[in-house]
């Protein structure tokens, strides 16, 4: 594996069967992400962006090929092993924040750390630090419904990176925000990626934000190619 490559997809295929039809969504994807690299995935609706993010993020298994994370082939690992890798090494952010409504921002960010087995005090300190980093340190005790859309998305990003993953998969993370707020959330995300050395694959329809990332790729005939 080339130096600094964190995740690599090799010959990845993904097919869905719909009735008697076989839909080929990923058809031999070769793609990799390096440490600290932020890559925009720009493709039309239905091209397979979510399928790519879910397969790379070990939520779906490839039908052929493999996903190699930090040198470890993950395609044929057991479900339990894949879940453990997801919990520790992969963060997800979606268009809608999916925060737990009955918990505060701080508690939402503590949750994945507690699931991983970290002591409460440590989880709380890290959550507070991430909130500060996302510039919403004063909002820690607010519940999601008491936060603006941009603040909610910052909390969701902080939660996704709470366990210091190697890779972040983001599916339209600013898709639900107005352009100015989207820009601010992107700035915070971008600073976090650079500071932590994460590798991030970010599906977006926002060409302005895509232009600010390190690289842009698209899906064409089930393959990842430069955009
Ligand atoms: N579980 C499934 N079973 C059958 N078909 C599926 C399944 N999941 C996705 N598809 C199909 O695969 C194609 C790609 O879907 P995907 O959600 O990856 O696209 P996308 O590029 O993320 O689209 P969007 O931008 O609209 O979210 C679509 O035609 C979709 O209908």
Provide the ipTM: 0.95
CA 13 to ligand 1 centroid distance, Å = 14
CA 180 to ligand 1 centroid distance, Å = 29
Cα–Cα distance, 1 to 205 (Å, whole number): 31
Cα–Cα distance, 52 to 133 (Å, whole number): 29
- Atom 31 of ligand 1: nearest residue by CA position: 46
- Calculate what percentage of the chain has a pLDDT beyond 70: 99
CA 105 to ligand 1 centroid distance, Å = 31
Pocket test for ligand 1, best of 46, 59, 63 (most atoms within 8 A of CB): 46
Burial 187-222 (b: 16+ CB within 10 A, else e): ebbbebbeebebbbbbbbebeebbeebbeebbbeeb
Q: What is the pLDDT of residue 195?
A: 86
Q: What is the pLDDT of residue 11?
A: 98
Of the candidates 176, 126, 183, 131, the one whose C-alpha atom is nearest the C-alpha of residue 154 is 131
Residue 211 to residues 34, 47, 106, 216: CA-CA distances in angstroms? Answer: 18, 20, 32, 8
Tokens linked to 174: 């600013």
Distance of CA 206 to the CA centre of its chain: 16
- Calculate what percentage of the chain has a pLDDT beyond 90: 84
Residue 1 has pLDDT above 70, yes or no: no
Q: What is the pLDDT of residue 136?
A: 92
Residue range 186-202, pLDDT digits in tens: 998 898 888 889 999 99
- Atom 17 of ligand 1: nearest residue by CA position: 50
Burial 139-175 (b: 16+ CB within 10 A, else e): bbebbbeebebbbbbbbbbbbbbbbebbbbbbbbbbb
Q: What angle do CA 110, 98, 132 make, to 5 degrees?
A: 45
CA 214 to ligand 1 centroid distance, Å = 26
Q: What is the mean pLDDT of residues 77-105?
A: 93
Cα–Cα distance, 34 to 2 (Å, whole number): 9
CA 16 to ligand 1 centroid distance, Å = 9
Q: Domain spanning 36-61+78-226 has what CATH number?
A: 3.40.50.300
Model confidence at 161, pLDDT cuts 50, 70, 90, reads very high
Residue range 62-85, pLDDT digits in tens: 999 999 999 999 988 999 999 999
Q: What is the mean pLDDT of residues 207-226?
A: 96
Closest-lying ligand 1 atom to the alpha carbon of residue 219: 21
CB 87 within 8 A of CB 80: no
Q: What is the mean pLDDT of residues 129-142?
A: 93
Q: Which residues line ligand 1 (CB under 6 A)?
A: 16, 18, 23, 25, 43, 45-51
Q: What is the mean pLDDT of residues 145-163?
A: 94
In angstroms and rounded to an integer, the radius of gyration of the C-alpha atoms of the chain is 17
The rounded mean pLDDT for the chain is 94
Cα–Cα distance, 151 to 176 (Å, whole number): 12
């Amino acid at each position: 594996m080339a130096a600094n490559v964190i995740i690599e997809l090799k010959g990845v295929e993904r097919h869905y069967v719909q009735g008697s039809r076989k839909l080929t969504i990923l058809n031999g994807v070769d793609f990799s992400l390096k440490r600290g690299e932020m890559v925009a995935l720009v493709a039309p609706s239905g091209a397979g962006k979510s399928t790519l993010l879910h397969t790379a993020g070990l939520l779906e298994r490839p039908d052929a090929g493999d996903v190699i994370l930090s040198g470890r082939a993950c395609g044929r690992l057991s479900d339990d092993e894949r879940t453990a890798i997801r919990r520790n090494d992969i963060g997800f952010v979606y268009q809608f924040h999916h925060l737990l409504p009955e918990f505060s921002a701080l508690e939402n960010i503590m949750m994945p750390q507690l699931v991983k087995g970290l002591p409460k005090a440590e989880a709380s300190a890290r959550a507070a630090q991430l909130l500060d980093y996302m510039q919403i340190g004063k909002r820690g005790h607010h519940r999601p419904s008491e936060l603006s859309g941009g603040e909610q998305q910052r909390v969701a990003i902080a939660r996704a990176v709470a366990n210091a993953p190697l890779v972040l998969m983001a599916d339209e993370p600013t898709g639900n925000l107005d352009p100015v707020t989207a820009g601010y959330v992107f700035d915070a995300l971008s600073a976090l990626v650079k500071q932590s050395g994460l590798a991030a694959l970010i599906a977006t329809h926002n060409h302005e934000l895509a232009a600010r990332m390190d690289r842009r790729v698209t899906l064409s005939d089930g393959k990842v190619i430069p955009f």
